[in-house]
């Protein structure tokens, strides 16, 4: 496929980008793509392995390339990794796209992700790390977003409805 994504989803890890993205794609009758999956497929390594072996900066560079390629190739729903907005070049790629920011507050984040060891950025003291992460990233999500959809206390189906309504 080639063209412009119908919608790009951003937001913190665990907010439900894949679940909501899949449901949105189904409802819209389009494909779903996730840049984390693209990177894992291309590298033949898990995201955690890439972080440990190559470091975060190298991962962000791979992520920027993955976002660039997906924006060129995909015309469905596209979900980005939670930290993709940290890179100014990646943020610039999102200019002119329809971008939905799925937001959640810190307590919701702690509740949803718990002690998920598969997420390298939350290895110790999840609540403190979530607070810092949200403070640093919230303005960046807001910068790229054309729509913000709060997910706190909502089911994936309710979030999907709200996101579709907002498009």
Binding site as annotated, residues: 14-19, 36, 60, 82, 119, 137, 154
**87: contact with ligand S3P by CB under 6 A:** no
Cβ closest to ligand S3P, residue 3 vs residue 135: 135
Cα–Cα distance list, 106 to 53, 145, 150, 152, 156 (Å)? 29, 19, 12, 10, 18
- Label residues 100-110 b or e (16+ Cβ within 10 Å = b): bbbbbebebbb
CB of 127 to ligand S3P, least distance (A): 16
Q: Which is nearer to ligand S3P, 6 or 15 (CB)?
A: 15
Q: How many CB atoms lie within 10 A of CB 128?
A: 10
Query: Per CB under 6 A, does 126 bind ligand S3P?
Result: no
Of the candidate residues 120, 150, 152, 162, the single one contacting ligand S3P (CB under 6 A): 120
Q: Is residue 91 a contact point for ligand S3P (CB under 6 A)?
A: no
C-beta closer to ligand S3P: residue 81 or 126: 81
How many residues sit in the footprint of ligand S3P (CB under 6 A)?
Answer: 10
- Name the token pair of 132: 């810092």
**CB under 6 A: which stretch of 24-32, 75-83, 90-98, 145-153 binds ligand S3P?**
75-83
**DSSP secondary-structure letter at 11?**
-
Which parts of 19-58 interact with ligand S3P (CB under 6 A)? 36, 47
- Rank residues 6 and 63 by Cβ distance to ligand S3P and give the closer one: 63
Q: Which of 87, 75, 62, 69 is nearest to 10 (CA)?
A: 87
Residue 107 CA to residue 129 CA, distance in Å, equals 12
Annotated binding site for substrate: 36, 60, 82, 137
Q: Does 83 bind ligand S3P (CB under 6 A)?
A: yes
- The residues near 35 (Cβ < 8 Å, ≥ 6 apart) are 63, 66, 67, 70, 78, 79, 80, 81, 84
């Amino acid at each position: 496929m080639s063209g412009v994504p119908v919608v790009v989803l951003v937001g913190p890890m665990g907010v439900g980008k894949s679940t909501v993205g899949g449901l949105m794609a189904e409802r819209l009758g389009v494909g779903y793509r996730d840049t984390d999956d693209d990177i894992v497929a291309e590298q033949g390594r898990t995201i955690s392995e890439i972080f440990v072996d190559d470091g975060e900066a190298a991962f962000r560079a791979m992520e920027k390339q993955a976002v660039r390629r997906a924006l060129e190739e995909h015309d469905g729903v596209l979900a980005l990794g939670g930290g993709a907005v940290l890179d100014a070049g990646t943020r610039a790629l999102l200019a002119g796209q329809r971008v939905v920011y799925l937001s959640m507050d810190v307590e919701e984040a702690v509740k949803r992700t718990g002690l998920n060891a598969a997420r390298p950025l939350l290895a110790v003291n999840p609540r403190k790390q979530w607070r810092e992460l949200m403070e640093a990233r919230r303005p960046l999500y807001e910068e790229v977003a054309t729509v913000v959809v709060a997910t706190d206390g909502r089911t994936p189906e309710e979030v999907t409805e709200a996101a579709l309504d907002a498009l």
